[in-house]
Amino acid sequence: MSSEQTPAETTDTAPAAAARPRRLTYAAALAALEGIALVVAGVWILALGLTGAPDDRQQAVTGGITLLVLALLPLLAARGLWLMRRWSRGPAVITQILALPVAYNLLQADSIAIPAGIGLAVVSVAALVLLVNPATTRALGITGPGRAE
C-alpha cells in the first residue's frame, strides 16, 4: 500500500468533522432537538391514549403514532446534516417551514402553550437562518442556479 492511499482511508471520519462549519453543526442539533421533541410528545400522547382516559382513545393513539412518524423527518435530516449530506438540507428546511404554522397556532392558544409556541418559533427561524447561510450551503456542496463550481 502506498503512502498516497493511507490518507484517503483516514479522510472518511476526522477531516469531515473538522471541515463541518459550526453553523451546520448547530442546524443539525436544532433539527435533532425538534425530532426528539416530537418523539417525546408522541410517546406521551400514545401512553395517555393507552393508559389514561382520553376523550377518544383511537384519536389519542393515532395522534401519538402520527407524531412518532413525523419525528423521522427532522431526525433523518439532522443525521444527514451532521454527516454533511447534500440531500439533508431539503428535509431540514421543510421541517422548519412546517413548524412555523404550528408555532403560530400555539401562540394563539390561551394557555401554557404560548411559551412552547415562542420556543418553537425561535428554533425554527434560527434553524432556517443557519440552513440558508452561505457557509452551510458551501459545506454541503450546494451551488446556486447556473453555477457549476
117 and 104 in contact (C-beta within 8 Å)? yes
Sign of CA dihedral 81, 84, 85, 87: positive
**Pick from 52-61, 64-73, 83-92: least confident:** 52-61
pLDDT in tens, 78-113: 999 999 999 999 999 999 999 999 999 999 988 888
Q: Note the pLDDT of residue 2.
A: 47
> For cell 446534516, what's the residue?
81
Contact 58, 43 (CB under 8 A): no
Give CA–CA dist 128/11, Å, rounded.
29
Is residue 62 within 8 Å of 77, Cβ to Cβ? no
